[in-house]
Structure 1
Amino acid sequence: MKQSKISALQLFYVMIGFEIGNTMIFGRGLKAGQDAWLTTLIGMLFGLILMFVYIKLTEYYPGDTLIQMIPKIIGKFLSFPLILIYICYFTLLASTACRDFGELIASTILVQTPIVIVIGSFMVLMIYCLRGGVEAFGRMGEVVFPIYILSLLVIWILVISSEPFNLKNMTPILGDGIKPVLEEVFPDVITFPFGETIIITMFFPALNKNKYIKLAGLSVILIGGIMLTINAILNIAVLGPEVYSKYQFPLLSATRIVSIADFLERFDVLIILMIVAGVFFKVGGWTYGAVVGISQLFKLKNQRSVFLGIGTIIIPFSLIYASNFVEFTGNLRIFITNYLHVPLQIVIPILLLCIAFIRKKLNSSNSS
């Protein structure tokens, strides 16, 4: 990959798209009913804490990705298996995002097209972009993100103007107490999407001005969390808490209800546009992280061929890790959340920060 840099604004575009990309179409905090929007808001607060952890690690080891920090913190012997786990983790999540995309596209607009064609075509375009380097990815963010936001704003306006829209559907607030909300916040909402922003540690070294690291990172969590909260409020106001909790894609369901003068209907195309744009950031972020991790672990200079290899792995893996979408959204997703998301997004980064803090204090005392 070219030794190029991206601006703080480009990093913001890429990461905000990564955070809210495919999350907008999924329902979060379903079991909390009318308080689902609160789960996102509280999750955002914990997300800010996690982002602070990622930023502090970068400040302790400026110019290093997460993969380069780990050996400096815990040593080469212990770091090798942990780095391999992170690389496999990034690759797995790229494949799950591809599967989400493929399932929705194949079940809505391309019902006669095999899902392998949908995913394969998307990955060819994805790898073509990423082989141009992080700068090309950042520039694509400048182009794609405004389209995503414009589509989202149009959908929100249509949803608000629809006849079923009623804010009374959100009452009573905390009618069942705070417990259902907290049970949804941890670990589900914290890890998806806020904890997934751990991938930003792979992008920080590419930032052209390091002084904007904290601003870019915290802005991603704050603005993304607010947007997801507004989206949840609108979905609940249209569908009602009972219906909202039953749909896997509530935004798509709410949009299908929209009808203007019984003439303009079926705004599904805007949702599909958002899906393509959102998955572009999600898959691109995970794939970039996996390729950079492999290149740094094995000290490879040419990363272009690594992109081809990872892309070749992601396509079949997205199809075989779950026999159907129902299986993935059930026990498999619970397994990924509890045994991969929680330790790799929360536990290990916090432990790494504690060790880095202690090492820095010891080095300071030895120097004095």
Structure 2
Amino acid sequence: MLKGMNNVVGQGNDKKKMEFPWETIMQKQNISALQLFYIIFGFELGTTMIIGIGAEAKQDAWLVILISMLTGMILMGVYTQLSVYYPDDTLVQMIPKIIGKYLSYPLIIIYILHFIYSAARACRDFGVLIVSTILVDTPLVVIIGSFMVLMMYCLRGGLETFGRMGEVILPIYILATVVVWFLIFSTGQFNIKNLTPVLGYGLKPILKEVFPVTINFPFGEAFIIMMFFPFLNNRKNVRKVGMAVILITGLLLTANIVITLSVLGPGIYKKDLFPLLTATRLVSIADFLERFDALIILMMVVGVFFKIGGWAFGAAVAISQLLKINDMKSVLLALGTIITPLSLLIASNFTRHLELGLEYFVPYFHVPLQIIFPIILLFIAFIRKKLNLDNYSD
């Protein structure tokens, strides 16, 4: 009889291990608060530093970033509160606990597709910049494919490896940014009057840029942090890390736009695809030291590395948890083979690529997935907690 009971207990323990393998995985792949900050900070900057965001607001583009940063902090409050309610769960794990098992499946699949497509868009941004600047005769597929091989190799090393790379690379990124700003500031074309008149066209152009575009790109994209929170070795730092990412990203982008606008003016800033790169090319020290745009390429590579890495890791974790796969390496390999061709197929040219993002992807995917659904999930989770209805069983 005791033997039979031991068998039952053993089977129960084995079943529990099979049902919840990700608890063990998360315990093995812990990252510090600083590492998580660097990962999401690099993810948020991504291509944003290079692309001229808020351009339709002209000389008030910097105000677009500040207002979007404030709304982004509200959204981060939503994301972090969900993680406080469900500290051991990623976004994919908490959705069934909030809205039920069967309603959650379609939503989780949509989120996975969102992660994959966003990674493909970041690849396309990176490939176009490299082709148009330093490797003009290299096929786009070679550049993106080579970068994805490097990306997948890093992610297969685990989240700790990704976090350590953030600790090493991001300080260099910040240093390169400060050097670029100093060089641009030293040019004779720097004119702070290019930022005047402040609010010269009123609030309407600013608010149109804030919503739906800038509040979602880049600040709303920080919702990917919910796929990383359970790996944090100290969950008490969840809100501190999230808010610090939004605040420092917003201030850095604001300073970047102020400097770029002061050199180029709102007219060129609006028309140029990569205004920071154009501003850097104006730098010339004693007609001898020039071509500092290599620093911009370095910044782009670093930013896209964390942008694609964040989306790809989120997709790999989501797929693994949905399909109950314990080893993500095969999932990452599959994602690498999907993202590369998808980045080439999403648009016939870069102009169309940007149009698809602004006219369709942001309003119809970013807004519901990054703003509406998280707020609804938080509202339902709040009610469940108040009514003590959060006991979930499969």
Matches of 1:22 and 1:241, distance apart in 2: 20
Residue correspondences, number: 366
Equivalent residue for 2:255, pick from 203, 222, 230: 230
Structure 1 counterpart of 2:66, one-letter code: L
Report the equivalent of 1:293: 318
Structure 1 counterpart of 2:71, one-letter code: F
Report the equivalent of 2:364: 339
How does the TM-score come out when normalised to structure 2? 0.91
- SS of equivalent to 1:363: coil
Alignment of 1:235-246 (within 5 A): 235-246=260-271
Matches of 2:268 and 2:348, distance apart in 1: 27
Q: Deviations over 1:323-364 (max 9, x none)?
A: 111111114432000100000000000000000001111118
4+ runs deviating over 4 angstroms: none
Structure 2 counterpart of 1:169, one-letter code: N
Q: Structure 1, unaligned stretches of length 5 or more?
A: none
- Paired residues of 2:97 and 2:390 also in contact (CA < 8 A): no
- Paired residues of 2:44 and 2:219 also in contact (CA < 8 A): yes
Matches of 2:235 and 2:87, distance apart in 1: 8
Equivalent residue for 2:181, pick from 156, 172, 178: 156
Alignment of 1:39-118 (within 5 A): 39-118=64-143
Kindly indicate whether residue 34 of structure 2 is the aligned counterpart of residue 34 of structure 1.
no
Equivalent residue for 2:151, pick from 126, 130, 143: 126
Matches of 1:261 and 1:180, distance apart in 2: 40
Kindly indicate whether residue 237 of structure 2 is the aligned counterpart of residue 216 of structure 1.
no
- SS of equivalent to 1:259: coil
Equivalent residue for 1:180, pick from 200, 205, 210: 205
Structure 1 counterpart of 2:142, one-letter code: I
How does the TM-score come out when normalised to structure 1? 0.98
Deviation at 1:249, TM superposition (A): 0.8
Structure 2 counterpart of 1:57, one-letter code: L
Structure 2 counterpart of 1:335, one-letter code: Y
Q: Deviations over 1:270-325 (max 9, x none)?
A: 01100110000000000000000000001101111100001110000000011111
- Paired residues of 2:213 and 2:358 also in contact (CA < 8 A): no
Matches of 2:332 and 2:270, distance apart in 1: 38
Higher mean Cα deviation, 193-202 or 145-154? 145-154
Kindly indicate whether residue 376 of structure 2 is the aligned counterpart of residue 351 of structure 1.
yes
Q: Deviations over 1:231-264 (max 9, x none)?
A: 0000100001111111111101110111112221
Report the equivalent of 1:252: 277
Question: For the structure 1 residues 123 and 364, does the alpha-carbon distance in structure 2 shift closer, same or farther, using more than 3 Å as the test?
Answer: closer
Alignment of 1:299-338 (within 5 A): 299-338=324-363
Deviation at 1:365, TM superposition (A): 12
Structure 2 counterpart of 1:363, one-letter code: N
Matches of 1:365 and 1:179, distance apart in 2: 43
Matches of 1:364 and 1:288, distance apart in 2: 31
Kindly indicate whether residue 191 of structure 2 is the aligned counterpart of residue 203 of structure 1.
no
Name the Cα RMSD after superposition.
1.3
- SS of equivalent to 2:136: coil
Deviation at 1:128, TM superposition (A): 0.4
Deviation at 1:66, TM superposition (A): 0.2
Q: Deviations over 1:68-88 (max 9, x none)?
A: 010000001100000000001
Q: Deviations over 1:204-225 (max 9, x none)?
A: 0000001111110000000000
Matches of 1:342 and 1:149, distance apart in 2: 30
Matches of 1:120 and 1:304, distance apart in 2: 18
Deviation at 1:21, TM superposition (A): 2.1
Higher mean Cα deviation, 14-23 or 285-294? 14-23
Matches of 2:378 and 2:342, distance apart in 1: 32
Q: Structure 2, unaligned stretches of length 5 or more?
A: 1-24
Report the equivalent of 2:19: none
- Paired residues of 2:98 and 2:390 also in contact (CA < 8 A): no
Question: For the structure 1 residues 91 and 331, does the alpha-carbon distance in structure 2 shift closer, same or farther, using more than 3 Å as the test?
Answer: closer
**Larger Cα-atom Rg:** 2
Structure 2 counterpart of 1:175, one-letter code: G
Report the equivalent of 2:18: none
